[in-house]
Amino acid sequence: MHDTAVLAEAARRAVLLASGVCREIQLAQGAVRQVTKDDKSPVTVADYASQAIVARELRERFGDVALVAEEDTDFLRQDEHKAHLQAVLEAVRTVWEDCTEDELLETIDIGNGRADDSGFWTLDPIDGTKGFLRGQQYAVSLAFIESGVPVAGAMGCPNLPRDFSDPLDEPDPRGSLYYAVLGEGVYETTCDDSNERPVKLTRLPSDKDTLSVCASVERAHSSTDDMDRVLDMVSQKNIEIAPPARLDSQAKYAVVARGQADAYMRLPTKKSYVEKIWDHAAGALVAIEAGCIVSDIRGHGLDFSHGVGLSENKGIICAAPHCHAMLVGAIKSLKIGV
């Protein structure tokens, strides 16, 4: 067994550093595009820089680590992408001052580790690509998996306001960061201050006569037609459906965890699609530790023990206790995902 408190603190530190670098890259998108001649390069640079920073922090803390992450260095090693490599190196040097090209590439490739039953980290260095490029919501998401279950992790949401009255489609200058330990709760701080006193996050009971959901801005990520069908069935139980809050990335888990929405549904768009572990591990842990229920659309718990994919699960439901069973029941009645 691992010391989950130590793991969570390491995750918090790594995600905080990576989030700061990603924020600066997002703010300087025009300059990055000018150097690399590529409209999508800001998120490309942020992905690699974030992964390098997190991998280095974990290695400095624990030595050899098993890290399963989204990126590898094949792209950066190509001569035609030399400008991207230099942009990543420049970004990483704001935290790791003497980093060399070889050290950068080697560190990013730490993320090519294997999912090990004895425990491994999984990282999405930038979750919410389109949100990042729009200057809106994205997340840096890191979790430690033990025996198929996330037991510690952190999720940085550099643009997510902590004040519910602030709009979700505009970047907040301080952002929000969440870190959690299985069975011991989840804590919230801003995303720009390593010394800020954390606040324990517990989702308060909601009005059972209303239901608010959060959904992706990028509608291709989940079946919006099926979501509308589910909500229509729920509304027939004399439950008022609020307009959805739209934002990208695992930040949606945080929005549900803190009670700003009641549910997040990721309904399959293709029968063959398998969710990736790094897209859900940290967010699911945050929501569960706040008091929410996270399952697949059949009500089964998420199983992170099958490599990089949640191959034993179909879709995702993250919801407050008062509405989780109702949503799963509506999905079953409508035969969604069958």
- Can 224 be counted among the known catalytic residues? no
Q: pLDDT tens-digit profile of 72-126?
A: 999 999 999 999 999 999 999 999 999 999 999 999 999 999 887 789 999 999 9
State the pLDDT at residue 78: 95
Fold of the domain built from segment(s) 4-199: Fructose-1,6-Bisphosphatase; Chain A, domain 1 (3.30.540)
Percent of the chain scoring above 90 in pLDDT: 86
Q: Is 293 left (phi over 0), alpha (psi -120 to 50) or beta?
A: beta
pLDDT band at residue 35 under the 50/70/90 scheme: confident
Sequence-separated (6 or more) residues with CB below 8 Å from residue 80: none
The C-alpha R_g of the chain, in whole angstroms, comes to 19
The CATH architecture of the domain made up of 210-333 is 3-Layer(aba) Sandwich (3.40)
pLDDT band at residue 338 under the 50/70/90 scheme: confident
pLDDT at position 222 over 80: no
Got the DSSP string for 244-259?
Answer: PEE--STHHHHHHHTT
pTM: 0.95
Kindly give the interhelix angle for 4-27 and 41-62, rounded to the nearest 10 degrees.
Answer: 150
Q: What gap in Å lies between CA 173 and CA 251, rounded to an integer? A: 16
State the pLDDT at residue 2: 85
State the pLDDT at residue 249: 95
Q: pLDDT tens-digit profile of 296-331?
A: 999 999 999 999 999 999 999 999 999 999 999 999
State the pLDDT at residue 38: 82
Beta-bridge partners for 246: 215
* 64, 66, 70, 76 alpha-carbon torsion, rounded to 10°: 30
Mean pLDDT of the chain: 94
Got the DSSP string for 278-331?
Answer: GGTHHHHHHHHHHT-EEE-TTSPPP---STTB-TT--SEEEE-HHHHHHHHHHH
CB-CB contact of 168 with 246 (8 Å): yes
Q: What gap in Å lies between CA 119 and CA 203, rounded to an integer? A: 29
pLDDT at position 39 over 60: yes
pLDDT at position 47 over 60: yes
pLDDT at position 204 over 90: no
Q: What gap in Å lies between CA 337 and CA 314, rounded to an integer? A: 7
Q: Which among 307, 306, 18, 3 has a CA at the least distance from the CA of 142?
A: 18
Q: pLDDT tens-digit profile of 151-161?
A: 999 999 999 99
pLDDT at position 180 over 70: yes
Catalytic site residue from 129, 172, 226, 279: 129
Q: Are strands 213-215 and 67-69 parallel, antiparallel or unpaired?
A: unpaired
Sequence-separated (6 or more) residues with CB below 8 Å from residue 228: none
The DSSP letter of residue 197 is: P
The DSSP letter of residue 337 is: T
Catalytic site residue from 44, 47, 109, 127: 47
- Can 102 be counted among the known catalytic residues? no
- Identity of the amino acid at 54: V
Domain ranges of the chain: 4-199, 210-333
- Identity of the amino acid at 233: M
State whether the Cα torsion 164-212-284-290 is positive or negative.
Answer: positive
Percent of the chain scoring above 70 in pLDDT: 98
- For 158-222, strand residue ranges (E) read 176-181, 185-189, 199-201, 210-211, 213-215
Sequence-separated (6 or more) residues with CB below 8 Å from residue 329: none
